[in-house]
Amino acid sequence: MRNKLVGCPVETTLLLINDRWKILILRELLDGTKRFGELRKAIGTVSPKVLTSHLRSMEEDGLVDREIFAEVPPRVEYTLTELGESLKPVLDAMKDWGINYQEKSTVEVDHPKVDAVQPNSHS
């Protein structure tokens, strides 16, 4: 990723978390380590191929650690790195902004997944 960085810090952040799936992966991993299946179930409609691609990209960018356990069947766990954890205030600000928008907007909001995750501290 370093060879893709640009001068604008906002654009740098967007290059790292430029996709809704990456944001949702971050949201889920803020609660702690998760296995691939747990992430896929929590995120919903993401395909295994897309989830794998984003996890690999986030690992290359230093946001996510992947640990492989030599078991049968193999177990893989994903955890946010310290750098990944440092995005929590960004996600918290996005959550706050979204709540404010939903409360003030005349646009009808229909996001059952978001409603289902509300009890978590970060979603």
At 72-96, the pLDDT tens digits run 888 999 999 999 999 999 999 999 9
**Residue 19 CA, distance from chain mean position:** 9
pLDDT bin (cut points 50, 70, 90) of residue 6 is low
Nearest to 117 by CA among 64, 45, 44: 44
What values do phi and psi take at 80, rounded to 5? -70, 140
Would you state the CATH architecture of domain 2-117? Orthogonal Bundle (1.10)
Q: What residue spans define the domains of the chain? A: 2-117
Residue 119: its pLDDT value, please? 40
Distance CA 35, CA 12 (A): 28
36-43 helix and 20-29 helix, angle to the nearest 10 degrees: 120
Question: 104 falls in which pLDDT band (50, 70, 90)?
Answer: confident
Specify the pairing of strand 75-80 against strand 64-69: antiparallel
Residue 103 banded pLDDT, cuts 50, 70, 90: confident
Burial of 42 (0-12, 13-18, 19+ CB in 10 A): buried
Predicted structure pTM score: 0.77
